[in-house]
Structure 1
Amino acid sequence: MWVVPEGEIAGLMTPEAAFDAVEAVFAAMARGDARNFPVVREAIGHEDALYGFKGGFDGAGLTLGLKAGGYWPNNAGHGLINHQSTVFLFDPDTGRVSAAVGGNLLTALRTAAASAVSSKYLAPQGARVLGMIGAGHQSAFQMRAAVRFGAFERVIGWNPHPAMLTRLADTAAELGLPFEAVDLPRLGAEADVIISITSAFAPLLMNAHVKGPTHIAAMGTDTRGKQELDPALVARARLFTDEVAQSVGIGEFQHAAAQKTVSADDITALGQVIIGRHEGRGDAEVTIFDGTGVGLQDLAVAAAVVNLAKQQGKAIEVEI
């Protein structure tokens, strides 16, 4: 078995490699070559933590495995980020475990890559203003990926706790872009692409806020009850996601689905756009990508990083 420690990931996995891996997985899912397994995600009754498993099998890439981990909201007191995970890969021919890979940075990179892929295919033409809702740890990765694969000229942002907006300002400065803190009505009116990445359990971006051609990547809702968008906004948009079943079960579209203003039939897997079976944005004013996070994304970036680690002598081989 190969082990790639968390500390080695930053020197191995690039945003470009993560983008390519995630885009390829979406396409494989759409072609029927890859499938995700049902997600297990539970409150463990200790430290307010959520813990679970995401897994799947990509028959095209012959990648089999799972990611184990979750969200520990009190980890700041331990000097750790709140999201903790490890990816395990298995030999699809024998079932033997083939690799264990640190999953924290990989999760951040693949989540950011997923929203960037959605913007590539769904953003309005000439998108120049990026709106950021949320300023937590993941927000910097989201902004970097969006700017790397887009043509944004400025960034505007909002966070429930304004003191945290320095993360967005610092990241924008690192990218050479001006940043301005704004309220949500202004963000919804001015941004061409909006990325929401919070842990909210009530809608933040309302239907009345969003004006003009806009693409929204809703990346924060991955658990039953979480919510970032007004269901009325969801109901008037053209809807896309990574995994339709997850979207209506634990993703952002669960709330509109519960209100029966949208159904699974109204939601298109992004991979269908990538492989040319769906027109994508078309004449829609607002598009929304619900990034629920699927196990196949984790497996794809983990497999890529194992190959890089082996090539560069950074993977550790152990007998089990």
Structure 2
Amino acid sequence: MSDAHKVTVVPEAVIAGLLSEEEAFEAVEATFGAMARGAAYNFPVIREAIGHADALYGFKSGFDRESLAMGLKSGGYWPGNEARGLTNHQSTVILFDADTGRVKALVGGNLLTALRTAAASAVSIRHLARPDARVLGMIGAGHQSTFQMRAALKQRDFEKVVGWNYHPEMLVRLETLAGELGLPFEAVSLEEMGAQADVIVSITSSFAPSMMADWVRPGTHLACMGTDTKGKQEVEAALLARATVFTDEITQSVSIGEAQHAVAAGLIAEGDIVEIGAVINGAHPGRSTADEITLFDGTGVGLQDLAVAAKVVEVAVARGGATELAF
């Protein structure tokens, strides 16, 4: 029997035309549900400062027994890339055949990372934000912010976007997108954002909190999407004590996610945190009152990457757009 087989290659450049936001949303939502049922699990994350180019490099991997998605995302963050005309986040997804262990596909991971991260916050908004949410707040105006904003705006009938960024001149990125989507945009202080916004999406790489607990009003939903490394922090730890905290994966939430600081300070316990998949599956009610503050700690799990990569491969093969190599 010949040992040769085909590997599907889906390069970075073609992914934008293959995966819709809706497909990314559905893939991520299904993955969170499978995780909460115990049918899918992530392996421990490796993420290291490599001592070269100020880069963080690592692996996220896992296996979903329902979809049979198995593999890893390898890559990280190279802060000097922007000066080279490249995206700071660089990654590649490798999928394997769950039946044989043979390599199945090689998929560009940069756009997928942005799409799956935006899908995760959108899933949290769909399941946790108040139905009458009308003002969207955006903390951060970097590369992923427009993906976040576009996905979030589809979840409720928002009428206005307010934004804040460490470098205010970058807010034009969000203002332009809001204008294209027919919504007014206002640059505000963080305190003013807390007073206005019904939903707040935070997507920064900050190591110090920007949004304070006292600034957030009752009924707000927050999606904290930037904290994925020990030491990073986007909101004051006391805010998690005021909120009902949800996450993609509890292990990551308390170790490298936004909850790491609140847990370390004894403000909340690991047992207080709810996996968003439990809400998706109907095992947890999610928001219980209009005044409840809900917070989603989106740490980013390998299974999200595998789910969207598997969908891209499926679509690419179906449309005849995939490259297949003998391997």
TM-score of the superposition, structure 1-length normalised? 0.99
Q: Is residue 131–residue 156 contact of structure 2 (8 Å, CA) maintained in 1?
A: no
CA distance in 2, matches of 1:235, 1:71: 30
Structure 2, unpaired ranges of 5+: 1-6
CA distance in 2, matches of 1:160, 1:87: 31
SS, match of residue 67 in structure 1 = strand
Aligned residues: 320
Q: Is residue 189–residue 212 contact of structure 1 (8 Å, CA) maintained in 2?
A: no
2:244 equivalent to 1:238: yes
Q: Is residue 44–residue 50 contact of structure 1 (8 Å, CA) maintained in 2?
A: yes
Match of 1:259 in 2: 265
* 2:87 alignment partner AA: I
Match of 2:304 in 1: 297
* 1:227 alignment partner AA: Q
SS, match of residue 203 in structure 1 = strand
CA distance in 2, matches of 1:212, 1:172: 25
CA distance in 1, matches of 2:21, 2:194: 27
Match of 2:318 in 1: 311
Match of 2:13 in 1: 7
2:90 equivalent to 1:61: no
Match of 2:43 in 1: 37
Structure 1, unpaired ranges of 5+: none
* 2:267 alignment partner AA: T
Q: Which runs of 4+ in 1 moved over 2 A?
A: none
Q: Is residue 133–residue 197 contact of structure 1 (8 Å, CA) maintained in 2?
A: yes
TM-score of the superposition, structure 2-length normalised? 0.97
SS, match of residue 62 in structure 1 = coil
Measure how far apart 1:125 and its partner are: 2.6
CA distance in 2, matches of 1:212, 1:265: 23
Q: Is residue 18–residue 113 contact of structure 1 (8 Å, CA) maintained in 2?
A: yes
Measure how far apart 1:260 and its partner are: 1.1
CA distance in 2, matches of 1:151, 1:33: 34
Measure how far apart 1:174 and its partner are: 1.6
Measure how far apart 1:100 and its partner are: 0.3
Measure how far apart 1:236 and its partner are: 1.1
SS, match of residue 326 in structure 2 = coil
Question: Pick from 193, 200, 203: which aligns with 1:194?
Answer: 200
Measure how far apart 1:149 and its partner are: 2.6
What is the root-mean-square deviation of aligned Cα atoms in Å? Answer: 0.7
Match of 2:3 in 1: none
CA distance in 2, matches of 1:176, 1:24: 31
Question: Pick from 164, 168, 174: which aligns with 2:180?
Answer: 174
Q: Is residue 115–residue 219 contact of structure 1 (8 Å, CA) maintained in 2?
A: yes
CA distance in 1, matches of 2:45, 2:17: 30
Identity of aligned residues (%): 65
SS, match of residue 137 in structure 1 = coil
Q: Is residue 69–residue 86 contact of structure 1 (8 Å, CA) maintained in 2?
A: yes
CA distance in 1, matches of 2:269, 2:76: 28
Measure how far apart 1:46 and its partner are: 0.6
2:29 equivalent to 1:23: yes
Match of 1:149 in 2: 155
Measure how far apart 1:82 and its partner are: 0.5
Match of 1:140 in 2: 146
CA distance in 2, matches of 1:62, 1:262: 35
CA distance in 2, matches of 1:11, 1:197: 24
